[in-house]
Each structure stands twice: as C-alpha cells, then as structure tokens.
C-alpha cells in the first residue's frame, strides 16, 4: 500500500505544493516563485510575500493534486513547513495545511524547513540513508549538520552572522547585479578570475566549525568603495569570482573537517547555495580526493520547494509523529 503525502511550503517567497509517494518518489512538484515581484525592492518584502501566498496557495495545492493525478481523499497526511521563515508567509501555508487536514480528516505533520532542505537529498538519491554530513546553506542559514538518523540531527557548525546566501545577495546588490544574488554572482563568476582579488576567509580557532561572512562582505564593500573613490573601473566578473571563491573555500574546508572529525564518508549539500556551481565542483573534487562521496540535489530541489517538505514529513509520519490544530508558525525554529 503506497503512502501519499501532500507537502506545503510557504516560508519565504515561493508558494509550493507537492505530492510524494513513499517518501522518495515525486508525483508532482509545483513551485510558484515571487522573484519578479520582489526584484524591484532588491530583496523579499515580507508583507508582499504573505499577500501573494494567500492568492496562490489554493491554486498551487490544487495543481499539485491534479498533476499527481490523485484526489485529496487518497492523501495519507499533510506535511507543512511551520518554521523557520517569515511569520506572515509561514502562516499562509500552515493555515491552508491545517484547514485541509481538519476538513478532510487527515493527519497533520509540521516540518522544519531545514529538515526539508536536507531531505531533498533523499529525493535525488533514493538509496541514500543516514548517517551523513549535510551542509545546509541558504538565504537564511549556513549549518553543518550531522544527520544521524531520520529526524535526528546534531549541528556541528553554523554562521555567527550572515548566512552564505545572504552574503551572495548583498554583494550582488552592491555590484549592481540585482536580486536574487546567488545565481547572478555564480553566472558572472564564470567569466572572472577567482584569484584576482584577495578577500578574507574566516576560520575560528576555538574548535568550532562555525562560519562568519560579515567580514568578507565588509571587505568586498570596502574594495568597491576604494575603486569608486579613485575612479577605477570595477571588474564585476573578477569581484564575483573572488568573493564566491572566498565563500566556497570556507564552506568546503569546514564541511570536510566535520566529515573527518566524525569519521563519515558521505557529504550532502542542501539549500539554495547548494545550487552554486563552484561549491558543487570544489566540494566534489576536494572531498573526492579524500575518499568522501559528495551528493547534491538537482537545482530545482536545492531552492525552496514542497517536494522536500513532503519527503521530510513522510519520515515523521511513519514514526507516528502528528501535530495538533494548535500548531503555530515559529519564525526562529531551531534544528536539533
């Protein structure tokens, strides 16, 4: 007997719904992105995001069921992101999920957004099983996670200031490339020289594998200001490539150190920054030389989607976890 989960995601600027069979097979994966709406403001405007989610959530859920060719009555459980994220945005998907669960008499499962990002790897690699080390790098998070079992995590390192994706977005804005910054920096970096400018890499000598990207961001901004004052031309591809390399070097080094420290030979990447071509390349090459296998989801499963939420919900569902109708959005929800 197949288990069908309806996954719902609305934590930031993507309204998404998906149907997942037996935790690993994507029957549908609908994502309505609001990127064009937020572009003119240079970042996500929470109130606009919430309003758009309200407009889109039901059509997106209906489309996910239609494309999967299943009726709501055939769904076994509803999995919905309840944090972390923008509170207004989270509330839209959560309220829709609760309303559907209540009226259709289906179990409700609250999903941690980061747990969803990690689970994207299970969809990409149907044979992948814990334990593994996962680097979760997105617009709001940069975590090195020891995935010990389904739903069992230990955080081995995290950012002390900006998230990696946030740094990409800020630098992109500073060089005039716009929003969202990650894919644009990635694209321009391919035409630049990553050794053209020496930007700092921050490592902590207190035994942690934490990250810090705010000093790097300031160094890039100072560099841009200096050139502007002296009237020198800014080589955007070189700035993009040198900045990107500084971020990637730290992410790669700390993640491999986490794997070695814990004697684990599998690294998975997750979150929007896992779409970065340099990160994918360097992690695979450098970890590969040390006998560590590197995995990453396809591009569409790296950035926010509901398939990953349906997958994470499935593993909670088979463990018997259920949420009540009092489940609330938790913008600062922690993992582990």
Q: Is 143 annotated as a binding residue?
A: no
Q: Two tokens at 275?
A: 């779409």
- Rounded to a whole number of angstroms, the minimum distance from the CB of residue 224 to Zn ion is 28
Which of positions 274-313 make contact with ligand KG4 (CB under 6 A)? Answer: 275-276, 303-304
To the nearest whole angstrom, how small is the minimum distance from the Cβ of residue 15 to Zn ion?
13
Helices (H), 144-261: 164-174, 181-189, 214-230, 236-261
181 binds, among Zn ion, ligand KG4, none (CB under 5 to 8 A by kind): ligand KG4
CA dist 307 and 130 (Å) reads: 19
- State yes or no: residue 304 binds Zn ion (CB under 5 A): yes
Q: Which residues, numbered 11-70, are part of the site for ligand KG4 (CB under 6 A)?
A: 12
User: Which strands, in side-by-side order, build the sheet including 108-112?
Assistant: 25-33, 14-21, 4-9, 77-83, 108-112
Q: DSSP for 276-311?
A: -HHHHHHHHHHHHHTT-EEE---HHHHSS-SHHHHH
User: Do 260 and 159 meet the contact criterion of CB atoms below 8 Å apart?
Assistant: no
Nearest-approach distance from CB 42 to Zn ion, in angstroms: 19
Q: Which tokens belong to 175?
A: 């060089």
Of 11, 12, 15, 54, the C-alpha closest to 329 is: 11
Helix H or strand E encompassing 63:
helix 46-68
- In the complex, minimum distance from the CB of residue 11 to ligand KG4, in angstroms, rounded to a whole number: 7
| Shortest separation between residue 13's beta carbon and ligand KG4, angstroms | 8
State whether residue 229 is helix, strand or coil.
helix
- Three-point CA angle 274, 48, 98, nearest 5°: 80
Site string for ligand KG4, 164-203 (x = CB under 6 A): -x--xx----------xxxx--x-----------------
Cβ proximity to ligand KG4, 65 vs 306, nearer residue: 306
User: What is the smallest separation between the CB atom of 251 and Zn ion, expressed in angstroms?
Assistant: 16
Annotated binding residue at 117?
Answer: yes
Q: Does 213 bind ligand KG4 (CB under 6 A)?
A: no
The reply to whether 111 sits near ligand KG4 by the rule CB under 6 A is no
Q: Which residues 183-202 are close enough to bind Zn ion by CB under 5 A?
A: none
Whether residue 304 is annotated as binding a ligand: the answer is yes
110 is known to lie in a ligand binding site? no
Identify residues 111-140 at the interface with Zn ion (CB under 5 A). Answer: 138
- Inter-residue contact 26 to 20 (CB < 8 Å): yes
CA separation (Å) from 196 to 8, 171, 235, 286?
Answer: 43, 16, 10, 22
Examine residue 138 and tell whether it contacts ligand KG4 (CB under 6 A): yes
222 annotated binding-site participant:
no
Q: Binding of ligand KG4 at residue 134 (CB under 6 A)? A: no
138 is in an annotated binding site: yes
272 labeled binding residue: no
Using CB under 6 A as the binding rule, the residues of this chain from 233 to 252 that contact ligand KG4 are none
Closest CA to 149 of 333, 318, 329: 318
Residues contributing to the annotated binding site for Fe cation:
113, 117, 304
Q: Which residue ranges make up the site for ligand KG4 (CB under 6 A)?
A: 12, 138-140, 165, 168-169, 180-183, 186, 271-273, 275-276, 303-304
Residues contributing to the annotated binding site for substrate:
136-140, 169, 182, 186, 276
Q: Which residue ranges make up the site for Zn ion (CB under 5 A)?
A: 138, 304
């Amino acid at each position: 007997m197949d288990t069908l989960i309806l996954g719902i995601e609305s934590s930031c600027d993507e309204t998404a719904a998906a149907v997942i069979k037996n935790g690993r097979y994507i029957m549908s994966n609908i994502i309505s992105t609001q990127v064009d709406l937020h572009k003119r403001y240079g970042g996500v405007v929470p109130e606009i995001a919430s309003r758009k989610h309200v407009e889109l959530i039901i059509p997106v859920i209906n489309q996910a069921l239609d494309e999967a060719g299943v009726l709501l009555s055939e769904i076994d459980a509803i999995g919905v992101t309840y944090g972390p994220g923008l509170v207004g945005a989270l509330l839209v998907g959560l309220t829709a999920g609760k309303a559907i669960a209540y009226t259709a008499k289906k179990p409700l499962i609250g999903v941690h957004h980061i747990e969803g990002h990690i689970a994207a790897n299970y969809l990409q690699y149907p044979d992948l099983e814990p334990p593994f080390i996962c680097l979760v790098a997105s617009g709001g998070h940069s975590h090195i996670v020891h995935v010990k079992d389904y739903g069992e995590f230990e955080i081995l390192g995290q950012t002390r200031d900006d998230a990696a994706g946030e740094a990409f977005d800020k630098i992109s804005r500073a060089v005039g490339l716009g929003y969202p910054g990650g894919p644009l920096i990635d694209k321009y970096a391919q035409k630049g020289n990553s050794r053209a400018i020496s930007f700092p890499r921050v490592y902590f000598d207190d035994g942690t594998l934490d990250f810090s990207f705010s000093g790097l961001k300031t160094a890039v901004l100072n560099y841009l200001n200096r050139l502007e004052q002296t009237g020198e031309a800014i080589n955007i591809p070189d700035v993009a490539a040198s900045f990107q390399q500084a971020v990637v070097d730290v992410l790669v080094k700390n993640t491999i150190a986490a794997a070695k420290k814990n004697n684990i030979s599998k690294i998975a990447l997750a979150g929007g920054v896992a779409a970065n071509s340099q990160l994918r390349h360097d992690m695979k090459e450098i970890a590969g030389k040390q006998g560590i296998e590197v995995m990453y989801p396809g591009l569409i499963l790296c950035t926010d989607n509901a398939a990953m939420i349906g997958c994470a919900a499935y593993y909670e569902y088979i463990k018997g976890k259920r949420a009540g109708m009092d489940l609330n959005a938790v913008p600062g929800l922690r993992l582990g």
